[in-house]
Chain A
């Protein structure tokens, strides 16, 4: 065991793939049970997610949100903190983005608004994470409980602000005025059109690039800075960290600020990139899905990108599936997502030992 090593591709590629296949197999049984052809359903799912330009665009658009929230959950997890508040932090981050856009859209060009909005979203998201972080670090209130509660407070605050202050007069729905075009993040299909690349009409926008940059930032921060080392030490063994002279409370607060800022960037994609106005419920559960993405991605940026793409594909392909086959309700699509999480998260070790043993034996032979 000590000499023979399992090839890396088995651990990062084969086992996750195997688990996903199992999940799809279990989903196939569900489809058979409701009397639908699983092959046809899988066809729609794959075709919807990857089969045409627009579908790919939507998959990547969903993935953008999930990369942000996945990174947010993951970075806190590195310090041993379970940030369940991505939803609320994304919500308030969106508020920050929206306020910047509403404020400057008629006076500044996009080149200035975009960085301001990104800073606004990150600041608001971080501020929302600060209070639970402070309570955890200085008062010992458990972060899981406080961040969950802050999701509800965020939601109430947004409704109050939207209904009483930011709503456009004379409209039934609580939605702000539409931003001037100078505050719209460009769509990738618009950017790529002059280069002769036809992407179809999808909401995929520049925020996707921002998400990828955040992955690089995450990788550099966690593994290539002194602070990242402190962070990982606190997460692995807080007592040892303290003994080594690391201020655990300070690391806790800072990592939650970064986590909140990352979650807040969902607002850049949703508010500035797609909706072009401030509205309610744009987070749509991405904060919670981010937890699954972080777990599946094994808290590594590359893994998170892949897991986000998988979930993005399930969102988009699932939407396509529910659209094409009316008997398949959106709830069935949630079942498929649940099975994927179950098999690749909770039941991850079911076959891991056997597959690894197989490769170890082969390496020994």
Chain B
């Protein structure tokens, strides 16, 4: 029995490797939220689905469920000759570090974190810039001069969103109040719509009339609460304007899909480079979303000042403080 198993396993591997032999063998490892998290991982999934549609190159996907499996799966993919291997999310930093050292010929790309090795490309985003923009828009739309922020898990990355947002709000309305809440302290905080809704309602009762949720799946509850109470909400990561049309003021989009697509494109054209790539407003890595679902909420005046602020951030006239640079939000 065991022999037969081994044989079938080997046969499978051989069959798969020969199918891609002439091309690149790309792979993706999602983080523990899984690929259908409606937000970050799903962004990558959308990017690679598009890539497979465009090129016909299949991408090997893997969804590890704990720390040990992350490293194990990265190692397995590397051993079988997959390259580039895209690791999605900061939780994989130490695993990528270890595996990349052991497989110097395999190319790795990590999204949302930095690993400084010769065969690793690190893609990080300037979330603070995008958050600043939507913060400015929130302040313009707010009538009570009180706006809310709801984060997912209380980690530096999410504080970075909150800090940028607060700066954007204060840039437009210096004496505005920003109420900030985090959903929780475990990964489950990114998938808790009920609590998101409770937090949003609490913020509304304190006078907030626009609320920005940087909380993955938790945001769904926030948007629902905003709709129920006739307030405004701001989406995150993917363009979520369509989730509650008329309620969604905008979305802070983080183009992980485009980033993932680009990695594979570069690998295919043999232009993949190791090093740190920081995607901000200037290169479209982050932005605010304007489409048919929210254009009724955005006046021409708002549009003009948003374009102005965006240009100023890109030119450096407005410098947005990054929470990660000194682990504090003093600006």
Q: What residues of chain A have their CB less than 8 Å away from a CB belonging to chain B?
A: 40, 43-44, 46-47, 51, 58, 61-62, 155-156, 158-160, 163, 167, 169-175, 178, 201, 203, 270, 274-275, 277, 279, 281-282, 284-285, 319, 322-324, 326, 329-330, 333
Contact = CB atoms under 8 A, between A and B. Distances in A.
Interface string B67-90: 111011101100000000000001
B298 interface: no
A13 B113 CA distance: 49
B68 A274 contact: yes
A174 B89 CA distance: 13
Nearest to A164: B327
Given A43-B5, A47-B9, A51-B6, A281 B186 contact: yes
A168 B34 CA distance: 26
Interface in B150-206: 153-157, 184-187
22 contacts: A43-B1, A44-B5, A46-B5, A47-B9, A51-B5, A155-B185, A159-B153, A159-B155, A160-B185, A163-B154, A171-B113, A173-B90, A173-B93, A201-B75, A203-B71, A279-B94, A281-B186, A282-B67, A319-B72, A323-B73, A326-B61, A333-B65
A101 B71 CA distance: 22
A26 B8 CA distance: 24
Contacts of A159: 153-155, 185-186
Contacts of A174: 155-156
Nearest to B324: A172
Nearest to B36: A329
A163 B67 contact: no
Contacts of B93: 171-173, 175
Given A323-B76, A324-B12, A172 B68 contact: no
A169 B72 CA distance: 27
B237 interface: no
B269 interface: no
Which one of B9, B112, B184, B187 has the greatest number of beta carbons of chain A within 10 Å?
B9
B37 interface: no
Contacts of A330: 34, 63-65
A44 B9 contact: yes
Contacts of B63: 322, 329-330
Interface residues of B, number: 43
Which one of B61, B66, B113 has the greatest number of beta carbons of chain A within 10 Å?
B66
Contacts of B124: 172
A167 B156 contact: yes
Nearest to B188: A155
A169 B327 contact: yes
Nearest to A319: B69
B268 interface: no
Contact of B62 (A172, A173, A323): A323
Contacts of A319: 64-65, 69, 72-73
Nearest to A173: B90
A346 B114 CA distance: 47
B17 interface: no
A281 B185 CA distance: 10
Contacts of A270: 67
A352 B184 CA distance: 45
A172 B153 CA distance: 13
A315 to B, nearest CB: 8
A174 B4 CA distance: 45
A243 B247 CA distance: 67
Interface in B17-44: 34
Contacts of B185: 155-156, 158-160
Given A159-B155, A173-B90, A281-B187, 7 more contacts: A43-B4, A43-B9, A46-B5, A51-B5, A167-B156, A270-B67, A333-B65
B94 A175 contact: yes
A51 B90 contact: no
A169 B73 CA distance: 28
B81 to A, nearest CB: 15
Contacts of B8: 40, 43
Contacts of B324: 170, 172
A44 B94 CA distance: 28
Contacts of A277: 94
A265 to B, nearest CB: 17
A47 B157 contact: no
Contacts of A324: 9, 12
A44 B1 CA distance: 11
A162 to B, nearest CB: 9
A46 to B, nearest CB: 7
A178 B75 CA distance: 20
A79 B6 CA distance: 47
State the 4 A-B residue pairs at the shortest beta-carbon distance, nearest first: A159-B185, A43-B5, A284-B66, A173-B90
B76 A275 contact: no
A212 to B, nearest CB: 20
B311 to A, nearest CB: 28
